[in-house]
Every structure is written in structure tokens, then in C-alpha cells.
Amino acid sequence: IEEGSNEYIKWSEIVEVNAFSIRFFENAKQSGYEIITAQKIYKFDAESAGVYKLTNQLADNLPNWKLDSPFNNISTGIEKANLYKKD
């Protein structure tokens, strides 16, 4: 969601949540979360304002939340961990 946006996502619309980590250089990486709905993919940087509260809200409101999921290599420098997938 773009900074300053007032978009709202209903819990029932969320089909998947993933954590991601992208390595840019040897010591630099970006990490965050992606929330996937049937209509759109939303990405949040781990440093974004409110992401800690968002993570807690996701864990409280989505069944089968797996915060301890292992990261899997998607491609060189990109890793993802599936935290939630709608049944």
C-alpha cells in the first residue's frame, strides 16, 4: 500500500501472507511482508510504520498463523516464508 493510502483489506479477503527477504549486497537486505488477496498483492517493508502492529493483528485474526515457518530460497538472494494460506 502506498504511503498515505487509506486502503483497507478485510480479513476474509486475505488468501495468503508471506514474509520475504531480499539480499542486495553482501551486507544489505530488505525484508517485509506480502499480503495476497484475490485482487491484489500488498507489500510492506519491515521498517514501515505500523508493521509491528500489523503483524500482531494478522496473527490474532488469521487462523493457522505460522510465525515460525522456515524461509525457502525462491531465487538468488530472495527468500520467502509462508505464514498463512487460506484453506
Query: pLDDT tens-digit profile of 37-80?
Result: 999 999 999 888 888 898 899 999 998 888 789 999 988 889 99
pTM for the whole structure: 0.84
- Sequence-ordered list of residues with C-beta below 8 angstroms from that of 64, at least 6 positions apart, any chain: 84, 85, 87
C-alpha distances (whole Å) from 79 to each of 3, 7, 24, 69 are 24, 27, 12, 12
